[in-house]
């Protein structure tokens, strides 16, 4: 079997393994990776070719750790996990400067978000008129969380 699987290169599990192979030669082949992961070569091939509908979560965690690819965990949660699919945000793997700017741009509006939340909650009742503003506050808070998680993902990948 060759070391450049063209059919699987669109698959995130394969791409992360091949990226990790730059630092661990054993990951160049499915045989070497399968041995390190404790799975059969055919199982790893099925994960990388998309033949397995849902990759076992414990194997995703092992691949993420072995390949130094924490983005695999986010991919699993956003694409394969029936609970996470609708609740977990897809994170962007980007450079530190880009992540920092995105987070700071979101934080720049914190005073307005805080003031709006105080105004909404002051009387203990959320009126029909306040609901759209509350949704804006929640979206802004979600953005802060998402950008913070992207920064954490960068740190996990780059500070090992």
Structure tokens at 16: 């992360």
Mean pLDDT of 88-108: 88
% pLDDT > 70, the chain: 96
* pLDDT of res. 5: 59
Question: Nearest 5°: phi and psi at 101?
Answer: -60, -45
% pLDDT > 90, the chain: 69
Q: What is the pTM of this model?
A: 0.74
Residue 30: pLDDT above 70?
A: yes
148 vs 92: which has the higher pLDDT = 148
Structure tokens at 98: 């880009």
* pLDDT of res. 38: 96
Residue 6: pLDDT above 80?
A: no
Question: Is 11 strand, coil or helix?
Answer: coil
For the chain, give every domain's residue range.
12-86, 96-158
Residue 9: pLDDT above 80?
A: no
* pLDDT, tens digit (0-9, with 9 covering 90-100), for 120-154: 999 999 999 999 999 999 999 999 999 999 999 89
Q: Is the dihedral of CA 62, 63, 64, 68 positive or negative?
A: positive
Please provide the average confidence, as pLDDT, over all residues in the chain.
Answer: 91
């Amino acid at each position: 079997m060759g070391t450049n699987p063209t059919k699987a290169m669109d698959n995130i599990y394969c791409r992360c393994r091949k990226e990790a192979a730059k630092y661990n030669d054993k990951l160049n082949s499915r045989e070497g990776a399968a041995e390190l992961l404790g799975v059969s070569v055919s199982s790893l091939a099925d994960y990388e070719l998309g033949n397995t509908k849902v990759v076992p979560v414990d194997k995703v965690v092992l691949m993420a750790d072995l390949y130094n690819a924490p983005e695999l965990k986010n991919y699993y949660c956003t694409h394969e996990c029936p609970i996470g699919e609708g609740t977990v945000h897809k994170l962007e793997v980007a450079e530190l400067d880009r992540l920092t700017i995105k987070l700071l741009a979101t934080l720049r509006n914190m005073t307005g978000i805080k003031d709006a939340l105080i105004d909404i909650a002051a009387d203990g009742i959320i009126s029909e008129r306040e609901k759209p503003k509350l949704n804006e506050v929640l979206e802004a808070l979600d953005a802060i969380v998402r950008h913070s998680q992207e920064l954490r993902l960068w740190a996990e990948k780059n500070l090992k």
